[in-house]
Amino acid sequence: MSKLKEFTTQAARPLPVVVLSDVSGSMGVDGKIQSLNLAMREMIDAFKDESDLRAEIHVSVITFGGKAGVHLPMGRASEASWSDLGANGGTPMGAAFELARTLVEDRNTVPGRAYRPTLVLVSDGQPTDEWKLHLDALLKSERGGKAFRMALAIGPDADHAVLREFLADPEARVYRADEAREIRKFFQLVTMSVSARSRSANPNVAAPAVDPNSGWDL
């Protein structure tokens, strides 16, 4: 065993993934919350199966429905235990942005040696709280602004303008899920994106775009 072990950390470099998920009352219809639960479970299971990575994938899930909260605290995906979400209440997206900013900026939760996080926003409606200030704070924060961001609009009532502001990149696109089953496909895309990055020579650089030819509007 290397003597150098005495001078090094024994934790792998984390690659954090933070999902901000809408669980407002409207997510409870048309099978959306069921599809979201299935997609989240599959994503975490896929991360658990990953091997030969440069980074260790860590996952956290922030929910906003009635109130915002941390459903799954940041930790190794390999040790994550998923419990299904329910749907209820309004859409306090601003509070979720604030929670995400706090989480990403916390050096104990996301250490300095971590790779750039991926923030994923999923929503089927319009924010019901003051969101703009909190989104600005997230995007202007030292670390939140450098995160990779992906967004999914579920159904016709999703606020695409807010999701575009979250992406803050004119070349990035808001993905659409017109049917509940398409939520799974989006999270498969997230999974592929994160996995590709964690295997790449430099996980801080965006992985090549995944082939969107999956039969739906990506």
If DSSP codes are grouped into helix, strand and coil, which group holds residue 64? strand
| Least distance to another protein, CB of residue 62, Å | 20
| Least distance to another protein, CB of residue 78, Å | 11
Q: Which residue in 97, 115, 186, 187 binds another protein (CB under 8 A)?
A: 115
Three-state SS string over 187-198 comes to: HHHHHHHHHHHH
The tally of CA atoms less than 13 A away on the side-chain side of residue 183 is 26
Residues 14-43 that bind another protein (CB under 8 A): none
Residues 51-90 that bind another protein (CB under 8 A): 53-56
Nearest to 59 by CA among 86, 81, 38: 81
| Least distance to another protein, CB of residue 102, Å | 17
Q: What's phi and psi for 154, nearest 5 deg?
A: -105, 120
**10 Å Cβ neighbour count for 77?**
24
Q: Which residue in 29, 132, 169, 204 binds another protein (CB under 8 A)?
A: 204
Of 80-88, 90-98, 115-123, 156-164, the segment contacting another protein by CB under 8 A is: 115-123
Nearest to 65 by CA among 88, 83, 84: 88
Q: Which residue in 49, 161, 202, 208 binds another protein (CB under 8 A)?
A: 202
CA distance 153 to 130: 19
| Least distance to another protein, CB of residue 183, Å | 28
Q: Is 48 in the site for another protein (CB under 8 A)?
A: no
Q: Is 116 in the site for another protein (CB under 8 A)?
A: yes
The size of the chain, in residues, is 218
For helices 32-49 and 181-199, angle between their N-to-C axes, nearest 10 degrees? 20
Q: Which is nearer to another protein, 40 or 104 (CB)?
A: 104
Q: Is 97 in the site for another protein (CB under 8 A)?
A: no
User: Residue numbers of the site for another protein (CB under 8 A)?
Assistant: 1-13, 53-56, 112-117, 142-143, 146, 201-205
